[in-house]
């Protein structure tokens, strides 16, 4: 009789009515997380350093026992900042590796190309390595952006220059990509808000290297502010082209050009260049023990100092880990989304604006700081972040 009861109980537990439905990328002891990013292309200084920080955090979490009893298996694929390679990499991560979520995917056009299929398969896109608005708009329960968008940054920075510095003859030089168009949209909308018009505009390919003719056109247009929808290499090349002409004009970039590589160009070429950024770069000489500890761990692991992209990676990874913890042991997609949406007023170690989410808001923050290059380093123009 006892054996019959035990057998019946065992069969009941094994039946579909009682078995938990499997969740993609989640087992009893593992969570599979994937990233495609630039490890060897024109933005590799962003992709490599950013994904390094995600791996550093995940490794530390695993060493401490994991999240709710599970270790993280982190898979990174090189997209070389190319759309076709991104689609190929995402297909592998989603269909072969079966990732639970994708994080820190690199590049605006790359994310835009991949996301429709990715989201349709129930794989969340978390804190991609781009500040484009399409990373969190329109609202989708599987899309999360970490900080202010390029659009937010440019509108806030442009408002500062027109109202505080009296700049009225605004021109735009941007990549002819989804990223560049997002920057240009911010320029146009803020100028319209202030009843101003765009004086001049140029578009270029991410691989272009000669900007002398484009700079000459902007000079002839009488610009008193150049807004750059550029990343690192093309930002330096445009700034260099402007300096060679002897033209004294303010230039404003955004987070993609807020990088030590831009600040430390030999000869002081980039001195006086401005950028907006969702968080301030904190060097390994920071007074914060947490920042110094991060820099030390990063250097020990990768043999280099962390750059700004590495900082973004650390904050993104820490917030993602918190969301996974909030989701509890019975991890599901909806549970992860709920875990993210429950995060309120999170403060990272770098003094960034508070990060919060809700069911109606999947952008962590829309404030940003204005910085300028001085003596080969980025310096905050003011301590408080700007909005518009």
Strand-by-strand arrangement of the 143-144 sheet: 71-78, 30-37, 101-103, 124-126, 143-144
Whether residue 8 has pLDDT greater than 50: no
Q: What is the mean pLDDT of residues 157-162?
A: 98
Whether residue 3 has pLDDT greater than 50: no
Q: Which residues are within 8 A (CB) of 256 and not within 5 positions of it... i.e. 6 or more apart?
A: 46, 131, 150, 179, 230, 231, 232, 235
Q: Residues 84-107: pLDDT tens digits?
A: 999 999 999 999 999 999 999 999
CA distances from 2 to 9, 11, 336 (A): 11, 14, 41
Whether residue 17 has pLDDT greater than 50: no
pLDDT for 284 = 77
Cα R_g (the chain), whole angstroms: 23
Whether residue 378 has pLDDT greater than 70: yes
Mean pLDDT of the chain: 93
What are the φ/ψ torsions at residue 92 (nearest 5 degrees)?
-65, -50
Cα 240 from Cα 351, distance rounded (Å) = 32
Cα 26 from Cα 32, distance rounded (Å) = 7
Cis status of the peptide bond prior to 249, with omega within 30 of 0: no
- DSSP letters along 90-108, please? HHIIIIIS--SEEE--B-H
Residue 128: helix, strand or coil by DSSP? coil
In 10 A of CB 3, how many CB atoms? Answer: 7
pLDDT for 42 = 87
Cα 8 from Cα 28, distance rounded (Å) = 25
Whether residue 110 has pLDDT greater than 80: yes
The number of residues in the chain equals 388
Whether residue 5 has pLDDT greater than 80: no
By the 10 Å C-beta count (0-12 exposed, 13-18 middle, 19+ buried), 380 is classed as: middle
Read off the pLDDT band of 266 (50, 70, 90). Answer: very high
Contact (CB, 8 A) for 254 and 154:
yes
Look at the block and give the residue holding tokens 């982190």. Answer: 74
Q: Residues 249-261: pLDDT tens digits?
A: 999 999 999 988 9
For 3, the token pair is: 């054996």
What are the φ/ψ torsions at residue 279 (nearest 5 degrees)?
-145, 155
Q: What is the mean pLDDT of residues 160-188?
A: 96
């Amino acid at each position: 009789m006892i054996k019959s009861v035990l057998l019946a109980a065992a069969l009941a537990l094994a039946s579909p009515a009682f078995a938990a439905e499997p969740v993609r990328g989640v087992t009893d002891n593992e969570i599979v997380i994937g990233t495609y990013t630039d490890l060897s292309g024109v933005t590799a200084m962003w992709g490599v350093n950013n994904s390094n920080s995600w791996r550093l955090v995940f490794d530390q979490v695993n060493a401490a026992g994991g999240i709710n009893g599970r270790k993280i298996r982190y898979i990174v694929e090189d997209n070389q900042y190319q759309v076709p390679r991104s689609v190929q990499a995402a297909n592998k991560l989603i269909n072969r590796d079966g990732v639970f979520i994708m994080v820190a995917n690199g590049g605006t056009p790359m994310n835009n190309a991949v996301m429709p299929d990715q989201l349709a398969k129930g794989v969340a896109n978390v804190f991609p390595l781009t500040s484009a608005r399409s990373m969190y708009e329109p609202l989708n329960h599987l899309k999360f952006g970490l900080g202010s968008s390029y659009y937010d940054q440019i509108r806030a920075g442009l408002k500062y220059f027109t109202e505080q510095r009296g700049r009225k003859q605004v021109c735009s030089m941007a990549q002819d990509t989804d990223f560049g168009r997002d920057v240009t949209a911010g320029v146009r909308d803020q100028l319209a808000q202030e009843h101003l018009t765009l004086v001049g505009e140029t578009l270029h390919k991410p691989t272009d290297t000669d900007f002398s003719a484009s700079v000459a056109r902007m000079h002839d247009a009488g610009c008193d502010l150049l807004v750059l929808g550029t990343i690192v290499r093309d930002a330096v090349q445009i700034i260099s082209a402007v300096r060679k002409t002897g033209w004294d004009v303010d230039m404003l970039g955004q987070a993609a050009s807020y990088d030590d590589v831009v600040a430390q160009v030999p000869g002081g070429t980039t001195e006086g260049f401005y950028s907006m950024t969702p968080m301030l770069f904190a060097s390994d000489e920071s007074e914060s023990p947490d920042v110094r500890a991060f820099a030390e761990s990063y250097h020990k692991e990768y043999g280099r100092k962390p750059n700004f992209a590495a900082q973004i990676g650390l904050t993104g990874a820490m917030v993602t880990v918190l969301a996974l913890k909030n989701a509890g042991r019975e991890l599901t997609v909806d549970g992860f989304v709920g875990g993210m949406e429950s995060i309120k007023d999170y403060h990272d170690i770098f003094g960034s604006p508070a990060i919060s989410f809700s069911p109606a808001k999947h952008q962590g923050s829309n404030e940003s700081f204005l910085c300028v290059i001085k003596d080969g380093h980025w310096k905050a123009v003011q301590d408080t972040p700007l909005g518009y």
